[in-house]
Amino acid sequence: MTEQSNRICILGGGFGGLYTALRLSQLPWQKSEQPEIVLIDQRDRFLFSPLLYELITGELEAWEIAPSFEQLLQGTEVRFKQGTVSQIDLETHQVHLHDSPTVAYDYLVLAMGGETPLGIVPGAIDHALPFRTIEDAYRLEERLRILEASEQDKIRVAVVGAGYSGVELACKLADRLQGRGRIRMIERAETILRGSPEFNREAAQKALQERQIWLDLETTVKSVEANQVTLEYRDQLDPIPVDILLWTVGTRVAPVIDALALPKSDRGQILIHPTLQVIDHPQLFALGDLASCQDVQGQQIPGTAQAALQQADYLGWNIWASITNRPLLPFRYQGLGEMMTLGIDNATLTGLGLKLDGQAAHLARRLIYLYRLPTLDHQIKVAFNWITRPLQDLITP
């Protein structure tokens, strides 16, 4: 790195990190100002997580929703480095990696997302399955294959959490297992999808009823064992036999972020200005699940992919503005609505004056997510596969 060149280091290749890197590579840099952009992630692939559920039913293929960083960043000014962050030294501006050289930076973007907290319930770490990464989907797929190949009459699945992730996962599993599945959802609140639009909630309730998915509302998980989960409902304990326990609730910041001496919220998230700069650290930016952000209008930003995409656009611009001595823009969040899949070829969508469910919502959701895929090249490849796949299925005996 020359003295004239700035190095921008982006930690985390999820929606916040990857899209920030792509945004930075598209901005009009003068040759004398062109920075070195380094994207670091412990995995070699990006994950378009809203479509992760489609892997369970075989509606999509892994390459469509998890393209490699090398492929996505080809032809850009962004250099990808696979590695696991062990420590961030804010004083010396260095990122330490396991079994890799230290990376120095001038500007640092914290975009490492969150982790599923399994340690809050005894036995969950050993016996519950999170559903956040492509590896989680592979583990679930392997467990399902073993159970489907067995002579077991019913496959008993419990899903902890009745938010969007829990509802989407339960519906996909019900459609895959059909009459062989016995699925129940466990939710501590008095209703599913608390805080979501009423239209989405009603569509989800209908989908769950049609699939005979049992709901345990106002219920908490007390402990987890190899083939059993103990539930508490109104001070009564009830042990339930399960073959698979899926955990979809909660998010915590990574330990390496938790160790940083930065201002944080009660939930351990880093406090940032509307410009997405960390308080008292103008060359340190943060976004996504690990950041507690209020936009310029004072609204608290949700930890969603939609919000992270919008933040990435602003964050890339603001780093460019910092380097080129331009004014920074305060983040302004626009809620564009909510979508969720409710089984095979079924979804619900609300937003921008629209309310759709069924196959129309399913098609709209697919097209919106196709448009949101990271690069035009990948969008074209996926679109071509979606168009030709029905023909391939007809030809294949």
Share above pLDDT 70 across residues of the chain, in percent, rounded to a whole number: 97
Per-residue pLDDT tens over the stretch 74-131 = 999 999 999 999 999 999 999 999 988 999 999 999 999 999 999 899 999 999 999 9
Instruction: In whole angstroms, give the CA distance from residue 258 to residue 180.
Output: 43
Residues 13 and 98 in one domain: yes
pLDDT of residue 1: 42
DSSP state at residue 187: -
Task: Determine, yes or no, domain membership for 49.
Answer: no
How many independent structural domains does the chain possess?
A: 3
**What confidence category does residue 395 fall into, taking pLDDT thresholds of 50, 70 and 90?**
low
Task: Determine, yes or no, domain membership for 332.
Answer: no
Sign, CA torsion 77/83/84/85: negative
Domain that holds residue 214: 124-247
Q: In what order do the strands lie in the sheet with 94-97?
A: 85-89, 94-97, 100-104
- Mean pLDDT on 291-302: 92
Residues 134 and 242 in one domain: yes
More confident residue, 145 or 1: 145
- Average pLDDT across the chain, whole number: 94
Residues 186 and 140 in one domain: yes
Given 226, 247, 268, which residue is the final one in a domain?
Answer: 247
Pairing state of beta strands 354-357 and 347-351? antiparallel
User: Residue 204, class by beta-carbon neighbours within 10 Å (0-12 exposed, 13-18 middle, 19+ buried)?
Assistant: buried
Residues 87 and 170 in one domain: no
Write the DSSP assignment of 98-148 as a string of letters: TTEEEEE-SEEEE----B---TTSTTHHHH-EE-SSHHHHHHHHHHHHHHH
Per-residue pLDDT tens over the stretch 346-378 = 999 998 788 999 999 999 999 999 999 999 999
Per-residue pLDDT tens over the stretch 203-251 = 999 999 999 999 999 999 999 999 999 999 999 999 999 999 999 998 8
Residues 110 and 130 in one domain: no
Task: Determine, yes or no, domain membership for 135.
Answer: yes
Instruction: In whole angstroms, give the CA distance from residue 130 to residue 117.
Output: 9
Residues 287 and 346 in one domain: no
Residues 234 and 257 in one domain: no
pLDDT of residue 394: 60
Residues 204 and 311 in one domain: no
Neighbours of 217 (CB within 10 A): 14
Residues 144 and 161 in one domain: yes
Given 272, 293, 323, which residue is the final one in a domain?
Answer: 323
More confident residue, 164 or 389: 164
pLDDT of residue 362: 95
CB proximity list for 301: less than 8 A, separation 6 or greater:
293, 294, 295, 307, 311, 331, 333
Angle between helices 164-177 and 134-149 (to 10 degrees): 30
Task: Determine, yes or no, domain membership for 53.
Answer: no
Given 297, 323, 349, which residue is the final one in a domain?
Answer: 323
Task: Determine, yes or no, domain membership for 95.
Answer: yes
Task: Determine, yes or no, domain membership for 206.
Answer: yes
Q: Is the pTM of this model over 0.85?
A: yes
Instruction: In whole angstroms, give the CA distance from residue 139 to residue 52.
Output: 13
Residues 315 and 358 in one domain: no
Share above pLDDT 90 across residues of the chain, in percent, rounded to a whole number: 89
Task: Determine, yes or no, domain membership for 167.
Answer: yes
Residues 147 and 212 in one domain: yes
One-letter identity of residue 226:
A
DSSP state at residue 145: H
Task: Determine, yes or no, domain membership for 63.
Answer: no
pLDDT higher than 90, residue 317: yes
Residues 94 and 147 in one domain: no
CATH number of the domain bearing residue 289: 3.50.50.60
